[in-house]
Amino acid sequence: MKKEIMLRKDELHNKTLQSLYFGGGTPSILSAGEISTLIDEVLKYFSFQNDIEITLEANPDDLDRKFLKELSGSPVNRLSIGTQSFFDKDLKLMNRAHNASEAEGSIKRAQDFGFENLSIDLIYGSPTSGFEIWKENLNKTVALEVPHVSSYALTVEPKTALNDWIAKGKVSTPKEDEQNKEFYYLSEFLKDNGFEHYEISNFAKPGFYSRHNSAYWKYKEYLGIGPSAHSYNGNDIRNWNIANNQQYVKKLNSNTLAKETEFLSQEDQFNEMIMIGLRTIWGVDLNSVKDKFSDRVFEHFHNEIEYKIKEGILIIENSHLKIPEKHWFMADGIASDLFIV
């Protein structure tokens, strides 16, 4: 990874970083010293804003006192903890390595070692729990004074234990109406407790928006290092590293980048702008659509949104197209209706 950082040092136009993010796997299996070594490598080629956000994704079972003590002496200043639930039944269903006690304990330990900028993941719509358990998860989150929450509906993926259990009738299929109910309760409850619902799946206290995620949602350039990591030039080029660890290492040992590249057409760029923008409180900047795309694309856009605006599914505020929050659970479907296919 240090070799890749060196080889790709000239790919970002902006050499002053506002966010550095260790994620996309289980980076908390690294030692604090190894994490600091990677940060030092980045600093050879880039500078950091004075208030840079440096996030480490971590499993609750990795956040013991020894690791947190060492990590508190590193530049890492934000933790994203894969809590998922504070109830053992849910965690067993999701095949998580940690239990409910570790989920809560890891947050308290992190706070004891000075980590105030914390985000946790929560999963709703689990067939092993119900609405009351979901409310308890949210009550626990607020009581723990966590300033950022990312929350997603439980989905059933092929070739997983959950999919097999459902097929055998051991577990019920997640119900969309229950997930819908829990999503809107989540939103209202967290807003009542001082959070801002700034993206469909993300909630933050003022001043705690994720800079890393916000860069994605605002189409900024980013550089991804490591197997399977994705990068984007902020315009029309996306690339990703191969997923095979051995091939990744072999190529870099021969000073060859282990990446593949995709050039995004106008239609691709338009679809991404719509998909991402309509998931956020910022919406889609109408002037950007007009300036960036051809008359043909803008005419398509204008024609497609007209009917949905009349229906109230879309609104325009301050020259930005948005989905009213009451329709956010349907955002992916609404956005896909606007795509150029």
Q: Which residues of 200-231 are buried (b: 16+ CB within 10 A; e: fewer)?
A: bbbbbbeebbbbbbbbebebeebbbbbbebeb
Q: What is residue 152's predicted lDDT score, i.e. its pLDDT?
A: 93
Residue ranges of the chain with per-residue pLDDT less than 50: none
Question: Can you give the pLDDT at residue 130?
Answer: 86
DSSP β-ladder status, 148-153 and 196-199 = unpaired
The pLDDT value given to residue 92? 85
| Predicted local confidence at residue 193, as pLDDT | 98
Asked: is 270-338 a CATH 1.10.10 domain? The reply is: yes
CA-closest candidate to residue 87, choices 144, 117, 147, 130: 130
b/e for 116-141, b at 16 or more Cβ within 10 A? Answer: ebbbbbbbbbbbbbeeebbeebbebb
Same CATH fold assignment for domains 2-216 and 270-338: no
Complete edge-to-edge strand list for the sheet that includes strand 284-285:
284-285, 320-322, 315-317
Euclidean distance between CA atoms 154 and 131, whole angstroms: 14
For the chain, domain boundaries: 2-216, 226-263, 270-338
pLDDT tens per residue, range 219-259: 899 999 999 999 999 999 999 999 999 999 999 999 999 99
Fold of 2-216: Transcription Regulator spoIIAA (3.30.750)
Strands of 85-144 (E only): list them. Answer: 118-124
For the sheet containing 118-124, what is the strand order? Answer: 16-22, 47-58, 78-84, 118-124, 148-153, 202-204, 196-199
